[in-house]
């Protein structure tokens, strides 16, 4: 069920609590998945601060409603792995705001370590959330989006380079990247742009629950903040290019691309990168009181 919330001082509208920010440009509407924390929450805050009306999607209804109350947003609790429920997210957004201009496919799940550690259901969930859900939700959104709208997919640098210890996650993110590149041509027929943001490691607490199983290679690159990633999403929204990709950080993206197109070079660089990443991982584990 959709919940409309506002901070103190919001007005009443149609029996729902609502927030209007004086002087704000509220002409654009964004639907953001994975919006209760991390990159999704940072993106929601950034867009709301710029006057967007935002509809927020996450599995945890309690946390999502707290965020909606903070931002004056539409809360749509949903597990995006439930493909049949995704068209309802689009309908609820349009029913509330009258349009949908921006879709941010941000929700993601990652079970860490060798695929042999995980059940077939866990592996399938990664594919459903990371790849199938963005495809299905974009298909539903395309039915109501007008020319000038944009779809932004938050993928990963792991989708640009095979990553041992994250095989299914890496494959699922590669899948959404390549789908986005191809689907951009389909969406162009309706004047809808497609973009992808590829973060490297992000300081979100995403690693904390299973740190010992995170591959050292993950930590070989600089850690970005959720705010930096949100700025990349905003840049993708405001750009004219389609399809387009933004890597965060830029240099890590170039290194990943180089490693993909030149496998011999990847093999040469890998030991040094893994050594660097292992040092960072060991320090993080020490800080958290975990054994190496």
Instruction: For the chain, state the CA radius of gyration.
Output: 19
Beta bridge partners of 13: 16
Q: How many residues are recorded in the chain?
A: 292
CA 288/CA 252 separation, integer angstroms: 26
What phi, psi does 199 have (nearest 5°)?
-75, 150
260 catalytic? Reply is: no
CA angle 233, 6, 99 (to 5 degrees): 50
Task: Write down the catalytic residue from 52, 97, 111, 169.
Answer: 169
Q: Which residues have C-beta within 8 Å of that of residue 272, sequence separation ≥ 6?
A: none
For 283, half-sphere exposure in the C-beta direction (CA atoms, 13 angstrom radius) is 7
Sign of CA dihedral 22, 24, 27, 32: negative
- Report the relative pairing of strands 74-77 and 29-33 from DSSP bridges: unpaired
CA angle 218, 107, 137 (to 5 degrees): 135
Beta-strand ranges (E) seen in the chain are 3-4, 12-13, 16-17, 29-33, 53-58, 74-77, 102-105, 150-154, 193-199, 244-248
CB 30 within 8 A of CB 6: no
Which residues have a catalytic role annotated?
169
């Amino acid at each position: 069920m959709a919940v409309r919330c506002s901070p103190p001082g919001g007005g009443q509208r149609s029996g729902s609590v609502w927030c209007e920010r004086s002087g704000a440009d509220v002409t654009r509407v964004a639907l953001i998945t994975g919006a209760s924390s991390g990159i999704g929450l940072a993106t929601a805050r950034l867009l709301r601060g710029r006057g967007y009306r935002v509809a927020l999607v996450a599995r945890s209804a309690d946390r999502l409603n707290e965020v909606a109350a903070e931002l004056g947003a539409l809360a749509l609790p949903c597990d995006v792995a439930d493909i049949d429920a995704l068209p309802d997210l689009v309908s609820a957004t349009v029913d509330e705001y009258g349009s949908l201009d921006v879709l941010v496919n941000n929700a993601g799940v990652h079970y860490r370590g060798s695929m042999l550690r995980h059940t077939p259901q866990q592996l399938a969930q990664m594919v459903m959330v990371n790849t199938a859900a963005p495809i299905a939700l974009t298909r539903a959104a395309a039915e109501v989006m007008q020319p000038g709208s944009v779809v932004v997919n938050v993928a990963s640098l792991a989708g640009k380079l095979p990553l041992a210890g994250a095989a299914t996650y890496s494959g699922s993110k590669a899948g959404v990247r390549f789908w986005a590149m191809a689907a951009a041509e389909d969406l162009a027929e309706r004047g809808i742009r497609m973009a992808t943001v590829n973060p490297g490691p992000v300081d979100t607490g995403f690693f904390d629950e299973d740190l010992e199983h995170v591959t050292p290679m993950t930590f070989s690159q600089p850690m970005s903040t959720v705010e930096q990633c949100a700025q990349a999403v905003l840049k993708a929204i405001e750009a004219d290019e389609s399809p387009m990709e933004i890597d965060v950080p830029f240099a890590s993206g170039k290194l990943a691309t180089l490693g993909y197109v030149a496998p011999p070079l990847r093999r040469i660089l890998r030991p040094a990168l893994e050594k660097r990443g292992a040092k960072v991982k060991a320090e993080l584990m020490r800080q958290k009181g975990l054994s190496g």
